[in-house]
């Protein structure tokens, strides 16, 4: 899913993602999932009933018993505890990627729309070139050069996502720019920076937030994939992508629960985020009209 974000037809496509209305049971479920994941991301280490990193080989692969709701993993560690603590990197990593790429992307979009002409062409061409690098590829390259780990992968992904954000927001920035109130403010003597920061961007905020939400899902999948490949978060640190990779061997042995639970966590959060993002997009579109 790394570069599934299309260039030409963003809005209709995102809207098409769920026509299951984000009201009713689906909306509520999404909200609960996201709240739980966020809560775990912040309080995970406090909530975890057992040490997520202490191996105990004699307990390897034991199924759900006693206080261990999801059983034990490949090295005899409590799966639930690892999921809770793993939520930190699994949620924070994508958050960082989203913040960096959205902030830089928005700024570039606004500058391009404001300055128009040569600056716009230059920025657009530069972004066109960045489009050449799919997120995962750039992350692999970065980890080969800087060493495996979350920071290198996260920065690489932010760079790869930035052009998509900028592309989507550029259109919206142009539309805002051409609104009458902007001309009015200019006449009154307001500086470009203040207009951009105080009016343009706040008015684009619904779209920015919607875009950021959808992007979170992509970032989560990509970062989990990179950790799964062994280039992101390093074992034995818990992380949902790492857990799938570590416990994949259990599937063949007849113990799929550890790997599957981590997979379910990822999928659930991504669905929830997509549902939420859809709704935000709709609101952004409605607000515009």
Partner 1 sequence: MRWRRNRWAVAVAAAATLALVSAACGRSAGSPAAGNVSATKGLVTTTPAGSTAVSSVTWAVYRDTNSLDPIYAFDYPENTAVTLMCESLLRQAPDGSLHSGLATLSYRSPTQLVFTLRPGVKFWDGHPVTPADVVYGLERNMNTKLGGFYGLVFNRVQSIQAAGSSQVTITLKQPDYWLPGELASMPGIVIEKSFAQQQGKNYGTPAGDIMCTGAYTFKSFKPGVGVTAVANPHYWNSSIKPRVKQILLKGAPDISSFTSAMLTGAIQGSYSSGGIPTLNQLQHSGTVRVYQGPGWSTDAFIVSSFKGALGDVRVRRALSLALDRKGIIDSVYKGAALMPRWVSNPGTFGYGKSVFTAAYAGSPVVSQNVAEAKKLVQAAGATGKTITIGTSSQLADISADAGAYQAAAQAIGLKAVLKSVSAQNYINFFIDPKARQGIDGFLTVNYGDYADPAAMLATFDLPGGSQNYDNFNNPQIVSALEQARSTANPNQRAALVVRAEKLTMQQLPWIPDVQPTQQLMLSSKLSGAVASFAYMFAPWANSLGGTG
Partner 2 sequence: MRWRFVARRLAMLLISLLVASFVIFAAVYLAPGNPIAALSGGRSLPPSSVRILEQRYHLNAPFFGQYWYWLDNVLHGNLGISITLRENVSTLIASRIWTTAGLVLYSALLIVVFGIGMGLVAGLRPGVLDTSTVVVTAISAAIPAFVAAIVLILVFAVKLGWFPAIGNGTGLADNIRHLTLPAFALAISSLAIVARVTRASVRGEGEREHVQTAVSRGIPRRQVIRRHVLRNAAIPITTVAGITIASLIAVAAVVETAFSLNGLGAYLVQAAQSKDLAVVQGISLLLVSAFVIVNLIVDMLYSVLDPRVTLGSRAA
The site for partner 1 (CB under 8 A) is made up of 20, 24-26, 53-66, 71-72, 74-76, 230, 234-236, 245-246, 248-258, 260-261, 264
Interacting partner of 32 out of partner 1, partner 2, none (Cβ under 5 to 8 A depending on kind) = none
CB of 219 to partner 2, least distance (A): 12
Sign of CA dihedral 181, 186, 190, 194: positive
Distance CA 125, CA 76 (A): 52
User: 40 to each of 66, 108, 142, 261, 262, how far by Cα in Å?
Assistant: 22, 34, 29, 15, 14
Give min distance, CB of 102 to partner 1, in A: 30
CB of 20 vs partner 2, minimal distance in Å: 6
Q: Cα angle at 109 between 104 and 115, to 5 degrees?
A: 125
Binding residues vs partner 2 (CB under 8 A): 1-4, 6-9, 12-13, 15-20, 125, 128-129, 131-137, 140-141, 143-146, 148, 167, 170-171, 217, 221, 224-225, 228-231, 241, 244-245, 248, 251-252, 256, 259-260, 263, 266-267, 270-271, 274-275
CB of 248 to partner 1, least distance (A): 6
Quick one: 172 or 233, whose CB is closer to partner 1?
Answer: 233
Q: Out of partner 1, partner 2, none, which partner does residue 261 contact, by CB within 5 to 8 A per kind?
A: partner 1
Least distance to partner 1 from the beta carbon of 250, Å? Answer: 8
Residue spans of alpha helices (H) in 116-239: 117-130, 135-146, 150-177, 180-188, 192-195, 201-228
Do the beta carbons of residue 199 and residue 186 sit within 8 Å? no
Minimum CB distance to partner 2 smaller for 6 or for 202: 6
CB contact at 8 A, 243 and 259? yes
* Gap between the Cα atoms of 196 and 10, Å rounded: 23
Partner touching 235 among partner 2, partner 1, none, CB below 5 to 8 Å by kind: partner 1
């Amino acid at each position: 899913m790394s570069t599934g974000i299309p260039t030409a037809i963003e809005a209709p496509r995102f809207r098409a993602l769920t026509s299951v209305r984000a009201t009713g049971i689906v909306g509520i479920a999404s909200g609960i999932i996201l709240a739980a994941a966020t809560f775990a991301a912040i309080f995970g280490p406090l909530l975890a009933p057992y040490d997520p990193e202490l191996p105990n080989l004699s307990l390897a692969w034991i199924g759900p018993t006693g206080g261990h709701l999801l059983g034990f993993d490949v090295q005899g560690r409590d799966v639930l505890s690892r999921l809770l603590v793993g939520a930190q990197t699994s949620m924070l990593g994508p958050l960082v990627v989203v913040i960096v790429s959205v902030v830089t992307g928005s700024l570039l979009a606004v500058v391009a729309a404001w300055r128009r002409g040569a600056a716009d062409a230059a920025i657009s061409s530069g972004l066109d070139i960045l489009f050449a690098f799919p997120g995962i590829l750039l992350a692999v390259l970065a980890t080969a050069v800087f060493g495996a780990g979350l920071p290198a992968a996260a920065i690489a992904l932010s760079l790869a996502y930035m052009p998509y954000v900028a592309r989507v927001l550029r259109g919206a920035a142009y539309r805002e720019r051409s609104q009458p109130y902007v001309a009015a403010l200019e006449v009154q003597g307001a500086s470009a920076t203040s207009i951009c920061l105080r009016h343009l961007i706040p008015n684009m905020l619904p779209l920015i937030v919607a875009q950021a939400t959808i992007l979170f899902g992509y970032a989560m999948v990509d970062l989990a994939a990179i950790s799964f490949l062994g280039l992101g978060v390093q074992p034995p640190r818990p992380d949902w992508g790492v857990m799938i990779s570590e416990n994949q061997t259990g599937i063949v042995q007849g113990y799929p629960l550890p790997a599957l639970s981590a997979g379910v966590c990822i999928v659930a959060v991504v669905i929830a985020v997509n549902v939420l993002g859809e709704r935000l997009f709709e609101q952004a579109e409605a607000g515009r009209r």
